[in-house]
């Protein structure tokens, strides 16, 4: 097979290198096209553009494959934890006992925020969305580490641990601020996910009961969201990192991108859809019929995926956890009954099967978080906590690439042709 692609434009031919990935992915390298021909490529939304070379995550959407550093997501979900998986994603290998212990100790030692951060929380109105507070406070936290602001990477491992550990502290404080409840500090005795639940739900006079099945379900949600290749938020982190912005600023930009309802808000949209169905008096049957009618305006949220043209591999994993949690907690929720009806229809109804509109990870994670008592406005925050290792790993790739350049996409201008200034007195 030729290792070049030939392009003919205006009667001239150009040879473009073909790049192959580890899994035999193919790309045409057009980085020199403009210099040699004057042309650029146009791909609105970057849906068919490879923006980088990366060693972190591999996805095959056609066959439903997701791997972190080459390890199938199914194996990690069954055998690993979020923190061990975070280490794998960031550092490129599974940790030894000693490396994992040191990493865990760093997380515990750096889970508390600087006390002056409390004053920043007090400045937000109680109506603030937790994602707004989260992004702002991650940026603010960087101010307490001057060496980070100066671009010093000598303590990079420490800053990684601080950010992964403190993001859940900031998240919990943000939520409690919005509901007017006192801040709960982390406990050294609790591990990562249990500590987040403690800070989220405990009272000063009564600790939240830490149930193993609840901890495991939330830890799994974190793990399944830890990275997902070049999505909107991760691409944003890489673009900001390319300017040599610091780690905290770059990851805060990821939070802002994730906040959008077309990205991180999908699991929240699932629960809101279920609420609307229930409030209308429907058990889901009419909604299913309406969803198949393009003129109805009703859309089935949490089904299908931009990347996966097969069953989302994360959905298969989390469905099992979802079923176990609902049974274990003996949840009696009419919304969950509607969800089961929609799921059954999507897996059996030929309309959805033919279009491969399978339930995705957002569908099941939304159901689990509702069952765990996580408020809807915190769903995207949970997503951000889980995605933090992936953002950090992508930042690290940019920072360690000596030939890295600042990201600067081109455009095709479609505005007015040459125009001239008209004094205000002569304008009609």
Catalytic residue among 219, 227, 312, 362: 362
Measured CA to CA, the distance from residue 197 to residue 216 in angstroms comes to 11
Least Cα distance to 175 among 215, 222, 218, 131 occurs for 131
Catalytic residue among 225, 305, 332, 344: 305
* Total count of residues recorded for the chain: 428
C-beta neighbour count of 53 within 10 angstroms? 10
Q: What is the DSSP string of 280-334?
A: TT--SHHHHHHHT-TTS----TTB--SS-SS--HHHHHHHHHHHHHHHHHT---H
Measured CA to CA, the distance from residue 43 to residue 36 in angstroms comes to 20
Which ranges of 186-231 would DSSP assign to H, the alpha helix?
192-201, 212-224
Measured CA to CA, the distance from residue 410 to residue 322 in angstroms comes to 44
Asked if 362 is an active-site residue, the reply is: yes
Please, which residues bridge with residue 66 across strands? 59
Q: What are the φ/ψ torsions at residue 9 (nearest 5 degrees)?
A: -135, 130
Q: What are the φ/ψ torsions at residue 17 (nearest 5 degrees)?
A: -65, 145
Q: Could you tell me the CA-to-CA distances from 140 to 120, 124, 132, 136, 231 in Å, in that order?
A: 8, 13, 12, 6, 25
Is the separation of the CB atoms in 250 and 241 below 8 Å?
Answer: yes
CA angle 400/383/299 to nearest 5° reads 125
- Residue with structure tokens 């991180």? 264
Question: Which tokens belong to 44?
Answer: 């609105």
Measured CA to CA, the distance from residue 134 to residue 377 in angstroms comes to 12
Is the separation of the CB atoms in 256 and 128 below 8 Å?
Answer: no
Q: List, by residue number, the catalytic residues.
A: 305, 362
């Amino acid at each position: 097979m030729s290792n070049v692609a030939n392009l003919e434009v205006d009667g001239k031919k150009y040879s473009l290198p073909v790049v192959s990935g580890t899994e035999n992915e193919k790309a045409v390298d057009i980085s020199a096209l403009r210099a040699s021909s004057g042309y650029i490529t146009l791909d609105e939304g970057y849906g068919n553009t490879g923006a980088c070379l990366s060693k972190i995550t591999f996805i095959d959407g056609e066959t439903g494959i997701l791997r972190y550093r080459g390890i199938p997501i199914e194996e990690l979900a069954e055998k690993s934890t979020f923190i061990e998986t975070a280490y794998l994603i960031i550092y490129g290998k599974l940790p030894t006992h000693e490396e994992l212990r040191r990493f865990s100790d760093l997380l515990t030692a750096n889970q508390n925020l600087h006390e002056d951060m409390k004053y920043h929380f007090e400045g937000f109105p109680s109506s603030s969305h937790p994602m707004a507070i989260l992004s702002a406070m991650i940026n603010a936290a960087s101010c307490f580490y001057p060496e980070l602001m100066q671009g010093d990477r000598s303590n990079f491992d420490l800053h990684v641990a601080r950010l992964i550990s403190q993001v859940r502290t900031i998240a919990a404080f943000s939520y409690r601020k919005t509901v007017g409840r006192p801040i709960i500090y982390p406990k050294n005795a609790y591990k990562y996910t249990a500590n987040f639940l403690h800070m989220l739900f405990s009272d000063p006079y009564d600790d939240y009961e830490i149930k193993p099945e609840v901890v495991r379900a939330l830890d799994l949600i974190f793990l399944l969201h830890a990275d997902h290749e070049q999505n909107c938020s991760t691409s944003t982190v890489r673009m900001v990192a390319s300017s040599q912005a610091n780690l905290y600023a770059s990851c805060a930009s990821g939070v802002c991108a994730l906040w959008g309802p077309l990205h991180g808000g999908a699991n929240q949209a699932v629960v809101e859809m279920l609420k609307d169905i229930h409030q209308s008096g429907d058990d889901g049957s009419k909604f299913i019929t309406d969803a198949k009618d393009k003129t109805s305006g009703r859309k089935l949220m949490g089904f299908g995926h931009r990347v996966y043209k097969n069953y989302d591999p994360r959905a298969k994993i989390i469905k099992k956890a979802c079923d176990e949690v609902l049974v274990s907690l003996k949840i009696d929720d009419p919304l969950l009954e509607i969800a089961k009806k929609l799921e059954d229809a999507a897996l059996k109804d030929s309309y959805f099967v033919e279009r491969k509109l399978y339930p995705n990870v957002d569908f099941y994670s939304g159901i689990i978080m509702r069952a765990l008592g996580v408020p809807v406005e915190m769903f995207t925050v949970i997503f951000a906590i889980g995605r933090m290792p992936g953002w950090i790993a992508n930042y690290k790739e940019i920072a360690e690439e000596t030939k890295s350049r600042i990201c600067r996409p081109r455009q095709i201008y479609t505005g007015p042709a040459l125009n001239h200034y008209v004094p205000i007195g002569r304008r009609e």
